Amino acid sequence: MAQWTSAVGAAQLARLLNSQQDRPAPGARRPPAYRALADGIRLLVLEGRVPVAARLPAERELALSLSVSRTTVAAAYEALRGEGFLESRRGAGSWTAVPAGNPLPARGLEPLPPEALGSVIDLGCASLPAPEPWLTRAVQGALEELPPYAHTHGDYPAGLPALRAMIAERYTARGVATMPEQIMVTTGAMGAIDAICHLFGGRGERIAVESPSYANILQLMREAGARLVPVAMAEGLSGWDMDRWRQVLRESAPRLAYVVADFHNPTGALADEDQRRRMVDAARSAGTVLVADETMGQLWLDEKYADGGMPRPVCAFDPAGSTVITVGSASKAFWAGMRIGWVRAAPDVIRSLVAARAYADLGTPVLEQLAVNWLFSTGGWEQALGLRRAQARENRDALVAAVRRELPDWEFEVPDGGLTLWVRAGGLSGSRLAEAGERVGVRVPSGPRFGVDGAFEGYVRLPFTVGGAVAEEAAVRLAAAARLVETGATGGAEAPRTFVA
């Protein structure tokens, strides 16, 4: 019986390997071809871009795709077997593995466990601690409101009526008339998008996505069996190339398109009203359902966006509700542990989503819904957001200053909101930086996690979730990781220091 559970084709593996372009250091010796190939495959496994237990192509097939000798591939496979990253059996082929004692690589951007935070600075997860005392007050308020609900079955597939009505009122206040029947409460934004993908996507359906885009959503769509159609973002914070979007939607006719128009993750770009209008028009013309992710929308950090300075929501340009489905969440704006999201769509879409939910998670926890409703109804949400914006702004400025000081050849633009910097890493491989960072005590996701088929190898994403001395130490460790990559050092890195903020 074969030990592999999936397969990677020769052409696909070659594309992923060829994306790993390193800038050679002056005078540095290049490793033998077999060693470079083995290191490349090992990196892909460690990052989760090639799954564990994936069958690799035969030596001859991969040699042809890479234009190298079969001997080179055979030697690379043998090196990987010796290191525990490959297992083989006659007649069954070779499949990826991880050495005994190593944790399985994550394919998303899961946060580090709390016990690891004393020695590793986590720049993988773009989430901030809870804005106290508002979390505690919200939970206390929810407990006071709980008794009437405790006398019911507690099963609300569309969400608590009070919270649905409150979310609808907030959209109406933003200039988009909304009824409670247009709202479904979900378990975070991920739960919302998962439900939408299963209703509209289906295995083999095309979904257009920004390139780059949010890594966890891309992985969710891949695992749902979608065929991702990347649409390149314009340079820097200028955002969306609408002529390119219109062309891709017209030629590919995807069933869905997913966009983050509000402080885009990972670039931080903000779509203006003309871009939003044209995006909706292009989707409508192509018969594509446009999923607008607003989870970063309230995290503006520049005061020019206060008092109505933000562009209107994407759904404001679809008054009939036939094209745009909006996803929101408390998890980014308030706290990642508050797993409350929502969908705004036409009533018939909401009914279909609710009906399909009977075969998924049935509903969202009542107590957390009551906590979010308490925040919305008491003004606590706005006060908590004020704390959140101040903290993110301070962290952003500290991280920007530290990275510019320690890594002056790294390039990025400073966004006006959101939680992330999208950084071109001075010609270095983002995958190798991520691996070296683990050895010196800083966790950073590489650019290819945010692309399709190996794109953005020269980038890393840096969330501004740490500030002060921790941000300075993070930049120092990133610089140490960059030196390891530049010199081609493998192993033997200094152990990370325990760092207490």
Tens-digit pLDDT profile for residues 232-261: 888 777 789 899 899 999 999 999 999 999
202 has a pLDDT exceeding 90:
no
CA pair distance 152, 134, nearest whole angstrom: 27
What DSSP state is assigned to residue 351?
A: H
Confidence band, pLDDT 50/70/90 cuts, at residue 23 = low
pLDDT of 390 strictly over 60 = yes
Beta bridge partners of 463: 420
406: pLDDT strictly greater than 50: yes
Using DSSP, how many helices (H) and how many strands (E) does the chain show?
15, 15
450: which DSSP letter? G
In angstroms, the CA 145 to CA 183 distance is 21
Over the stretch 78-135, which tens digit does the pLDDT of each residue have? 999 998 989 988 877 888 888 876 655 554 456 666 655 567 899 988 889 999 999 9
| pLDDT tens-digit series, residues 33-92 | 999 899 889 888 876 678 778 889 999 999 999 999 999 999 999 999 998 989 988 877
Q: State the DSSP string of 288-328.
A: PEEEEE-TTTT-B-SGGGTTTTSPPPGGGG-TT-SSEEEEE
Give the model confidence (pLDDT) of 340-373 as tens digits.
999 999 999 999 999 988 777 778 999 999 999 9
CB 422 within 8 A of CB 459: yes
Cα–Cα distance measured from residue 115 to residue 101, given in angstroms and rounded to the nearest whole number: 18
- How are beta strands 324-329 and 420-424 bridged, if at all? unpaired
The pLDDT, as a whole number, for residue 21 is 60
In whole angstroms, give the CA distance from residue 432 to residue 430. 5
Q: Identify the pLDDT of residue 45.
A: 82
pLDDT of residue 491: 46
Rounded average pLDDT over 1-27: 70
Q: Give residue 498's pLDDT.
A: 34
For the chain, what is the mean pLDDT?
88
pLDDT value for 320: 80
Mean pLDDT of all residues in 138-164: 94
Predicted confidence at residue 448, as pLDDT, reads 86
Instruction: Summarize pLDDT for 272-326 with one digit per residue, the tens.
Output: 999 999 999 999 999 999 999 999 999 999 989 988 889 999 999 998 888 999 9
Q: What tokens does 313 get?
A: 């929501």
Residue with tokens 């986590």: 122
**For residues 43 and 22, what is the distance between their CA atoms, to the nearest angstrom?**
13
Q: Which residue has the higher pLDDT, 447 or 26?
A: 447
In the block, which residue shows the tokens 């939408």? 196
Q: DSSP character for 201?
A: I
Q: Which of these ranges, 138-152, 196-210, 406-420, has the smallest mean pLDDT?
A: 196-210
Residue 488 CA to chain centroid, in angstroms? Answer: 29
Structure tokens at 182: 């247009």
Position 338 scores a pLDDT of 94
Q: Which of 169-178, 193-202, 253-262, 388-397 bottoms out in mean pLDDT, i.e. has the lowest?
A: 193-202
- Give the percent of the chain with pLDDT over 70: 90
The tens digit of pLDDT for each residue in 262-272 reads: 999 999 999 99
> What is the percentage of the chain residues whose pLDDT exceeds 90?
64
